[in-house]
């Protein structure tokens, strides 16, 4: 019984030959992402900027326009409202008030007084400025330490050239994800940081699989040109890469459309991360090895041209 393959065995797509197109596209993507971050910034959630988060449920579909008008008239700053999974569920974000905990409690009481009596309060959360600042820098440090750990592991496991290629691809994935959130102005919170770390793990897993085949083929095909060996390695792992990405995306799309508002940002980040991570593993991490003076040495899985000819004729 033959297995199911999304990519036919023996496929030979010359990925490395189009490296300049990939590099230009990636540089443009990074430039746009950084520009968006510099101009629009991120829509930080309560986790990172502090404030009051109130989730309510109404008996009838909420009139957001009327509710927003009433709450903005309280003098609490720019109060943000959004549907939270259903027309009867609303998430209210109130900016942090000056004056400590008492001021936040007063703001919560003012919001309660401005809303109808039949409103059900699902949760009321307050994050102070000190906690939000600590959470922000903890998130930044988590991403930074993950990058350094990945660089160290790849350097130890392979060669330093592989480590550099992997980290460049990871930075590309992280910055492009941040640019996406800046463009869409979706809430950037701790769940998003968790998604970015998950993206890094997913992307490096893909990259390591391809790199391991590159190293194996460098030892096996010592007389072949490096671009040919890189193309061969990508194609030999392409079926596994595509199958993993497709099955992961099926689960993520289900989470995005059916999982509710709470995890929608996380799901979107992961969907983008799987797509851009697959692209970077194939089109960035491997072609970059051409410019890093990758050594053709050590380890003998095979010996020279006779094996090359035997495998080519198989």
Note if the pTM is more than 0.85.
no
Roughly what angle, to the nearest 10 degrees, separates helices 160-184 and 264-280? 140
Q: For the chain, where do the domains classified as CATH 3.30.70.3400 start and end?
A: 51-127
Mean pLDDT of 196-217: 88
CA distance 15 to 13: 6
CA distance 98 to 120: 27
The band of 2, judged by pLDDT with boundaries at 50, 70 and 90, is low
15-43+132-313: CATH architecture: Up-down Bundle (1.20)
* Of 72-76, 246-250, 259-263, minimum mean pLDDT range: 259-263
Q: Please report the pLDDT score of residue 300 as a whole number.
A: 41
Residue 123 reports pLDDT greater than 50: yes
Q: Please report the pLDDT score of residue 179 as a whole number.
A: 94
Q: Please report the pLDDT score of residue 177 as a whole number.
A: 93
Q: Please report the pLDDT score of residue 296 as a whole number.
A: 67
CA distance 256 to 275: 15
Contact by Cβ (8 Å): 87, 51 = no
DSSP 311: H
The band of 130, judged by pLDDT with boundaries at 50, 70 and 90, is low
* Of 36-50, 115-129, 297-311, minimum mean pLDDT range: 297-311
CATH number for 51-127: choose from 3.30.70.3400, 3.40.50.1000, 1.10.10.10, 3.40.50.300: 3.30.70.3400
Of the candidates 281, 280, 284, the residue with the CA atom closest to the CA atom of residue 292: 284
CA distance 292 to 52: 50
What is the per-residue pLDDT across 135-160, written as a single tens digit (0 to 9) for each?
Answer: 778 878 888 888 788 778 888 888 88
What is the per-residue pLDDT across 60-95, written as a single tens digit (0 to 9) for each?
Answer: 888 888 888 888 888 888 787 888 778 888 888 888
DSSP letters, 272-288, are HHHHHHHHHIIIIITGG
Of the candidates 200, 157, 145, 154, the residue with the CA atom closest to the CA atom of residue 175: 200
Q: Please report the pLDDT score of residue 6 as a whole number.
A: 66
Q: Please report the pLDDT score of residue 19 as a whole number.
A: 92
Q: For the chain, where do the domains classified as CATH 1.20.1640.10 start and end?
A: 15-43+132-313
Q: Please report the pLDDT score of residue 47 as a whole number.
A: 74
Tokens of 239: 């079926």
Q: Please report the pLDDT score of residue 303 as a whole number.
A: 39
Task: Classify 270 as helix, strand or coil.
Answer: helix
Q: Please report the pLDDT score of residue 20 as a whole number.
A: 94
The band of 314, judged by pLDDT with boundaries at 50, 70 and 90, is very low
The band of 5, judged by pLDDT with boundaries at 50, 70 and 90, is low
The band of 101, judged by pLDDT with boundaries at 50, 70 and 90, is confident
Contact by Cβ (8 Å): 155, 93 = no
What is the per-residue pLDDT across 22-60, written as a single tens digit (0 to 9) for each?
Answer: 999 999 999 999 999 999 998 887 777 778 888 898 888
Q: Please report the pLDDT score of residue 25 as a whole number.
A: 96
């Amino acid at each position: 019984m033959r297995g199911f393959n999304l990519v036919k065995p023996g496929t030979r797509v010359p990925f490395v030959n189009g490296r300049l197109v990939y590099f230009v596209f990636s540089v443009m993507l990074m430039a746009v992402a950084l520009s968006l971050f510099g101009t629009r910034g991120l829509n930080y959630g309560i986790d990172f900027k502090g404030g009051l988060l109130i989730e309510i449920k109404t008996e009838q579909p909420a009139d957001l326009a009327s509710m927003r008008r009433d709450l903005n008239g309280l003098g609490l700053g720019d109060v943000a409202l959004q549907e939270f999974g259903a027309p009867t569920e609303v998430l209210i974000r109130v900016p942090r008030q000056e004056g400590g905990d008492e001021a936040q409690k007063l703001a919560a009481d003012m919001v309660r007084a401005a809303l109808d009596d039949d409103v059900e309060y699902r949760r009321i959360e307050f994050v102070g400025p000190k906690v939000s600042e600590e959470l922000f820098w903890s998130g930044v440090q988590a991403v930074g330490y993950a990058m350094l750990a990945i660089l160290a592991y790849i350097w130890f496991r392979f060669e330093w050239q592989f480590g550099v290629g992997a980290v460049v691809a990871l930075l590309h994935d992280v910055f492009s994800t941040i640019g996406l959130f800046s463009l869409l102005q979706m809430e950037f919170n701790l769940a998003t940081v968790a998604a970015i770390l998950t993206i890094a793990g997913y992307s490096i897993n893909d990259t390591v699989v391809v790199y391991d085949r590159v190293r194996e083929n460098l030892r096996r095909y010592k007389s072949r040109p490096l671009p040919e060996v890189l193309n061969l390695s990508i194609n030999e792992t392409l079926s596994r890469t595509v199958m993993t990405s497709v099955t992961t995306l099926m689960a993520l799309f289900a989470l995005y459309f059916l999982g509710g508002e709470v995890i929608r940002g996380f799901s979107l980040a992961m969907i983008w991360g799987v797509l851009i991570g697959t692209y970077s593993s194939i089109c960035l991490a491997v072609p970059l090895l051409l410019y890093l003076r990758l050594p053709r040495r050590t380890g003998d899985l095979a010996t020279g041209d006779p094996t090359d000819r035997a495998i080519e004729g198989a």
